[in-house]
Structure 1
Amino acid sequence: MTLLQVKDLEVRFAAAGSGLFGLNKQWVRAVNGVSLTLAAGQTLGLVGESGSGKSTLGRAILHLNPISAGQVLFDGGPVDIARLRHETAMIFQDPYAALNPRLSIGQTLAEVLQVQRKVAPQQIPQRVNELLELVGLRPELAGRKPGSLSGGQCQRVGIARALAVEPRLIIADECVAALDVSIQGQIINLLLALQARMNLAILFIAHDLAIVRRLCDRVAVMYLGKIVEEGPVEAVFTAPRHPYTAALIQAIPEIDPHRPLSGEPLPGEPPSPLNLPTGCAFHPRCRHARETCREQLPPTHFLQDHRYSCVLEQSPFIDKEL
């Protein structure tokens, strides 16, 4: 069952310092016509380089950023903000900055329960303990403040706070990027267990493709505000259809010391979103670019539940070692 549907979503911001007195404003097209779906109980990974628009898209879905055009449907209908606040939650990247340093962990969780009115006031202390145990923390930590906890413990508190809403959808925005590798694995295992237990839908925003491959059912690849490829994780990782996707996969670090490092899989830097290239936005960095790529938007191809936007109908990457 489709829980979340995003249709042709656009998010634009006025560039800092542009348009003095409101004249001739320049606009940053952070999200530029994105469409995607997410089913109940499914995890969709959203990947791409920094500045591709991933976090802006996640925040716009929850109406934390203003939407310039397009539509977000939740559970089959237009978004009702009050309902959205009761059935969705977000996990943020910085586990310390996301928590109020003046409140104890118990107070942080109790505040959500009070606002959301999920339990009776007299049951809040018990529910706080249940939430802490649910994310692998001892109830005794409820009296401590974030500054006395490790980064991994604080991120578990952030997850507990999200679960206090009893959400159907969680947007996790780079939620393990600031943690040590060993702690990252613990948090990923926790998310997998919670998803199976609670049938959560998760939009997992990340730049680490190795983690996405482990955690997610599907993956969407974003470049300069657009989804350039989307499909089942294994289909995309084993047979990438877009040159940008292939370059990102080539850049995944390998543990095998006998395997040579890849060359420069992705030359150059992304163009400025203030001055997007004509035609395919990726063409200035693409080794397979043709003249038509500079002039026309790429067509979108559908291979069952795998789609990509590129002039290449036959991928040159499938039969090559990635």
Structure 2
Amino acid sequence: MTTLLQVKDLHVQFPAAGSGLFDLRQRKVSAVNGASLELKAGETLGLVGESGCGKSTLARAILHLNETAGGQILFDGIDMAHGSKADIARLRHETAMIFQDPYTALNPRQSIGQILAEVLRVQRKVPAQQVEARVAELLNLVGLRPELADRKPRSLSGGQCQRVGIARALAIEPRLIVADECVAALDVSIQGQIINLLLELRERMDLALLFITHDLTVVRRLCDRVAVMYLGRIVEEGPVRDVFDSPRHPYTAALIQSIADIDPARRLPEQPLPGEPPSPLHLPSGCAFHPRCRHALPVCRETSPPTHSLGARRYTCVHPEPLY
């Protein structure tokens, strides 16, 4: 498979209000702090981490919805972080996003047919006389009846609205879809249906999918590879099975140990992940994870950890061998 997306040492910052009037323009929040990842055509990459670690900000930067402060975003080899208007226009025609809340993501004043037809007209995907037929085709593609085109979002269930959101993304005929917590607001049974739908569409349409979530059970079911994010950095990346079976970074191991299990005989982790992530305004020196890491060494407080490569895996830790 060819590489479709490469993110290299990406930085995204936002201004933060300071303690005084004159601090307003001086202080910056580092939402993404040197993140790097790679996604191949037709592949699904899960991006996981605690709330506030920068997952959604990274995704929006990839789609050129957030400005970047440094680094590269290579889409088909073209750096979109510094791309021309023509480059960004091409990115808009080849990428789409599925949002978390299926209700607020859809215009309540429009019918389902109008929502999908608007995308088709703006993107000029089909002639005007074929828009209605294409709307029906998109609804069929995501498992909805074409007659639902006349209904408003408020008359549909959450699962149906999310299928409409997926149909809207597919209307662009994208090569890359970014799904930002797109099943988090749905019931568990509906989550399974949406995940199965995404799996089917990926195979049928050869889509690349960046799937953002905090639910590792979903990643294990849906994704080919996983990238683990902590305080704006990717601390481990690799094939899902390898990372889940043998995590190399202490943070990855802690996340995997916390996965819920319905087996009452399974013991809970004896030492759950301690503390809370530090404030992005006051990032720790050295390894950002060292204040919460039981395996931290004195060097972890002083210098950034090295990056190790092991086949298709990459991780940043002072310990080259697994500790688990």
| Structure 1 contact 18–25 (Cα < 8 Å) conserved | no
Q: For residue 10 of structure 1, report the CA deviation from its aligned partner.
A: 0.5
Aligned partner of 1:120 among 117, 127, 135: 127
Structure 2: distance between partners of 1:24 and 1:143: 49
- Hey, what does 1:179 align to over in structure 2? 186
Structure 1: distance between partners of 2:313 and 2:210: 18
- Hey, what does 1:262 align to over in structure 2? 269
- Hey, what does 1:89 align to over in structure 2? 96
Correspondence list, 1:205-244, <5 A = 205-244=212-251
Amino acid at match of 2:162: Q
| Structure 1 contact 221–245 (Cα < 8 Å) conserved | yes
| 3-state DSSP of counterpart to 1:73 | strand
CA RMSD of aligned residues (A): 1.1
Structure 2: distance between partners of 1:207 and 1:24: 32
- Hey, what does 2:84 align to over in structure 1? none
| 3-state DSSP of counterpart to 1:99 | coil
Of residues 178-187 and 17-26 in structure 1, the stretch that sits farther from structure 2 once superposed is: 17-26
Pair 61,19 (structure 1): closer, same or farther in 2 beyond 3 Å? farther
Q: For residue 263 of structure 1, report the CA deviation from its aligned partner.
A: 2.8
Structure 2: distance between partners of 1:86 and 1:201: 14
| Structure 1 contact 18–24 (Cα < 8 Å) conserved | no
Are 2:311 and 1:304 equivalent residues in the alignment? yes
After superposition, the C-alpha distances for 1:81-137 in whole angstroms (9 at most, x for unaligned) are 100110000000000010000000000000000000000000000000000000000
- Hey, what does 1:16 align to over in structure 2? 17
Q: For residue 61 of structure 1, report the CA deviation from its aligned partner.
A: 0.1
- 5+ residue gaps, structure 2, are 81-86
| Structure 2 contact 112–164 (Cα < 8 Å) conserved | yes
Amino acid at match of 2:119: V
| Structure 1 contact 2–40 (Cα < 8 Å) conserved | yes
Amino acid at match of 2:127: A
| 3-state DSSP of counterpart to 1:37 | strand
Are 2:111 and 1:111 equivalent residues in the alignment? no
Amino acid at match of 2:181: E
- Hey, what does 1:36 align to over in structure 2? 37
Aligned partner of 1:140 among 147, 158, 164: 147
| Structure 1 contact 44–217 (Cα < 8 Å) conserved | yes
After superposition, the C-alpha distances for 1:191-246 in whole angstroms (9 at most, x for unaligned) are 00000000000000000001001100000000000000000000000000000000
- Hey, what does 2:258 align to over in structure 1? 251
- Hey, what does 2:76 align to over in structure 1? 75
Structure 2: distance between partners of 1:172 and 1:112: 18
- 5+ residue gaps, structure 1, are 318-322
Structure 2: distance between partners of 1:49 and 1:73: 26
Q: For residue 21 of structure 1, report the CA deviation from its aligned partner.
A: 4.9
| Structure 2 contact 17–23 (Cα < 8 Å) conserved | no
Of all paired residues, the percent bearing the same amino acid is 75
| 3-state DSSP of counterpart to 1:184 | helix
- Hey, what does 1:277 align to over in structure 2? 284
Structure 2: distance between partners of 1:47 and 1:169: 18
Amino acid at match of 1:268: G
Aligned partner of 1:167 among 174, 196, 214: 174
| Structure 1 contact 47–221 (Cα < 8 Å) conserved | yes
Of residues 285-294 and 20-29 in structure 1, the stretch that sits farther from structure 2 once superposed is: 20-29
Structure 2: distance between partners of 1:220 and 1:64: 21
Amino acid at match of 1:251: S
Q: For residue 305 of structure 1, report the CA deviation from its aligned partner.
A: 1.0
Structure 1: distance between partners of 2:134 and 2:6: 32
Q: For residue 78 of structure 1, report the CA deviation from its aligned partner.
A: 2.5
Amino acid at match of 1:114: R
TM-score, length-scaled by structure 2: 0.96
Structure 2: distance between partners of 1:207 and 1:238: 18
| 3-state DSSP of counterpart to 1:274 | helix
Q: For residue 73 of structure 1, report the CA deviation from its aligned partner.
A: 1.0
Are 2:60 and 1:59 equivalent residues in the alignment? yes
Of residues 251-260 and 203-212 in structure 1, the stretch that sits farther from structure 2 once superposed is: 251-260
| Structure 1 contact 247–266 (Cα < 8 Å) conserved | yes
Displaced runs of 4 or more, over 6 A: none
Correspondence list, 1:195-206, <5 A = 195-206=202-213
